[in-house]
Amino acid sequence: MEIIKVTKTFRNGSITKYLVLYEEVCTKEFAEDCADDWCAKEGNGVNYGYTWEWEFVKDKEEIKEAISKEIDSVTKEIRVLQDKRDKLFTYHKKS
């Protein structure tokens, strides 16, 4: 597992995102592809263009913070899926 820090710069500013890469072996090419994908999906800079750069995170505090945010995000995703499952069970019992 690796953490990368992606900074996307566009006309009106910049945004930084930490990406958690779950692969056991993470190449520079794979990390670059992940950074490129995130930048393409992130909406800023679509009209006037943007540049981006990335780096592997080595600072332990940054890593801890990125992992903590990823845990929160995954926990929210799990709750959403559990709610959907519960609604499906409820609907299935009615039919």
Give 70's pLDDT tier (boundaries 50, 70, 90): very high
77 token code pair: 């995703």
Give 55's pLDDT tier (boundaries 50, 70, 90): very high
| Residue pair 37/54 in contact by the 8 Å Cβ criterion | no
Predicted TM-score of the model (pTM):
0.83
Predicted confidence (pLDDT) per residue in 22-41, tens digit: 988 899 999 999 999 999 99
By the 10 Å C-beta count (0-12 exposed, 13-18 middle, 19+ buried), 42 is classed as middle
Check the CA dihedral 29-30-35-40 and report its sign.
positive
Residue-range definition of the domain harbouring residue 36: 2-94
Tally of structural domains, the chain = 1
At 1, the amino acid letter reads M
| Residue pair 21/29 in contact by the 8 Å Cβ criterion | no
38 token code pair: 């995130």
